[in-house]
Structures are given as structure tokens and as C-alpha cells.
Copies of this chain bind each other. A is one copy, B any other.
Amino acid sequence: MEILLANDDGIHAPGLRALHAELKQLGNVVVVAPAIEQSGVGHTVTYRSPLQVEEIFDHGQHFGWAVHGSPADCVKLGILEFSPKKPQLVVSGINSGANYGINVLYSGTVAAAIEGAFFGVTSVAISLNLDSPPDYERTARRSVRLIRDLLARFPAEGLLWSINFPPSDVELKGVRFTSMGIKRRKEVIERRIDPRGKPYFWSGTDPLENHILDAGTDIEALSRNYASITPLMFDLTDTPRLQPMLQEEWTCD
């Protein structure tokens, strides 16, 4: 099997290295990952400036391609330029930090997987909650087991999955198929004053407690120390709401 591996933490991140070592069991792994960390960049794409790429070596052997761009850029380049043939699988991760609830939309890790699905390639994003020191090696073994099982059980092409693992120091209770939690209890921005007397703002502190733990969601599964597997799609159309609108006759002049 031809596999493309990307992430958003950068090509030297330990989560990617651990996953690379395990994924080799499943096939030929091409690594295309950001040259520098890209967390929180969502589905950024670079189109106003060109993308530069460096070949990265490990102990004198080719390891992969470092892209001066976003996770989605990496997957585009990986599929169109650096894979010897079209990959059958795109994997993104292991991200240092969980990507649950609406954070899915902020996540560069998930965006890389969505980009893979744009090309019709089954794609999996993998994220690890960081509330304790991360054990990426064990998480990589668990990830490859789940990827193998997903490919066997749901063999259709172009499926899109997001997997989250609870922190490494807790006993994993099991695996749950979940929905994306969509209810945020609160969002805070912290206002501070700089040394010149001017306000500035910190955003993005988003603990699990800020979310509503609806049953069946990724957030609730993680809060109970289950790994979550969420089947995603990239069609944002609100289809049930659209249906009756198709009868509307509007003008705007």
C-alpha cells in the first residue's frame, strides 16, 4: 500500500516519527510535513507565494520532504509531486494535543486529512490529548491497529476519519465511534495590558470543561478515557435545511 504521512507539528515532531516507524508495516510511507510547526492553522493554503521544499535525511537515509507551508499544502504536494503513485491512504499526526469538538475546524492535523479526502483518498487524522507526558510509541501502535481495522471493515475509498486518544497516563477504557461535539459552553479571551499601557489579548485556552459533554460525542468519549473515532465529511451544506429552500424564488436587484 502507498501511504502519505503528514502532520501539523513539523517533520521533526516525535508524534510523526513514532507513527512513521509503525506505519511501515502497512506499506511504503512517503513523509511530507511542514518544515516548522503549524498548529492551529486550520485549512490554510499557500497560493500567494510559492512553496519551497527541503529533502530531510535521517542517519544519511532519505526520511521525507519538509514543506515551508501548511499541513494542507503538504498533502497537495505529497499527492501531486512526491508520491510515486496516488496514495491509497493519507495519515496525519500524531498531533501533540487532542482535536475534539469544534476544534476540528481549527486543526491543521485534521485539515491535512480533509485535503487527502478532497483527492478521494481515505484519510485519517490522529491526535493525542496531552494532559500527561505523551507516549507516542504506544499511541502509534494503537493508531496503526485502528487504521488497519478501519481499512478492513470500511474499505470504501475516500473516507475521512479523526481519531483522538486520551492522555497517555490513563488506562484506556476502549474505543468509541463518536460524533463531533458541537456545543461550546464558553469561550474566553484574556485581556492584558502591555508595558506601554495598551491592551492585548490571549485566546485559545480551551479545556474539555469549556465544552458540553453530550452523550456520543468525541468530547464525552475522551472525558471518560475512551479513544474516539469520528467519521467526518467535508460537505458543509446543511442539506436538511436546504431542501425546502429550493422552492424559493428570490431576486436582489
A63 contacts partner chain B, Cβ-Cβ < 8 Å: no
A39 contacts partner chain B, Cβ-Cβ < 8 Å: yes
Determine the chain B residues whose CB is within 8 A of the CB of A43 once the complex forms.
Answer: 42-43, 105-106
Interface members, chain A 85-114 (any B CB < 8 Å): 102, 104-106, 111, 114
Name which residue of chain B comes closest to A239, CB basis: B179
For the complex formed, measure the closest distance between the CB of A107 and the CB atoms of chain B, giving whole angstroms. 9
- Contact check: which of B77, B237, B239 meets A189 at CB < 8 Å? B77
Interface size class of A (residues with CB under 8 A): 35 or more
Measured in the bound complex, the distance between the Cα atoms of B180 and A241 in whole Å is 13
Measured in the bound complex, the distance between the Cα atoms of B43 and A104 in whole Å is 10
What is the predominant secondary structure among interface residues of chain A facing chain B?
mixed
- Copy count, this protein chain: 2
With A51-B203, A233-B238, A234-B102 already in contact, the answer to whether A189 and B145 are too (CB < 8 A) is no
Determine the chain B residues whose CB is within 8 A of the CB of A232 once the complex forms.
Answer: 236-238
Decide if A50 touches B182 in the complex (CB within 8 Å): no
Interface members, chain A 176-208 (any B CB < 8 Å): 177-180, 182, 184, 187-189, 191-192, 198-205
Determine the chain B residues whose CB is within 8 A of the CB of A169 once the complex forms.
Answer: none
With A45-B106, A145-B252, A250-B146 already in contact, the answer to whether A51 and B111 are too (CB < 8 A) is no
Determine the chain B residues whose CB is within 8 A of the CB of A58 once the complex forms.
Answer: none
Name which residue of chain B comes closest to A227, CB basis: B252
For the complex formed, measure the closest distance between the CB of A252 and the CB atoms of chain B, giving whole angstroms. 4
Interface members, chain A 149-172 (any B CB < 8 Å): 149, 153, 159-160, 172
Decide if A42 touches B40 in the complex (CB within 8 Å): no
A174 contacts partner chain B, Cβ-Cβ < 8 Å: yes
Decide if B118 touches A201 in the complex (CB within 8 Å): no
A132 contacts partner chain B, Cβ-Cβ < 8 Å: no
Name which residue of chain B comes closest to A250, CB basis: B175
The 4 A-B pairs at the shortest CB distance, nearest first, are namely A47-B204, A42-B43, A42-B42, A177-B245
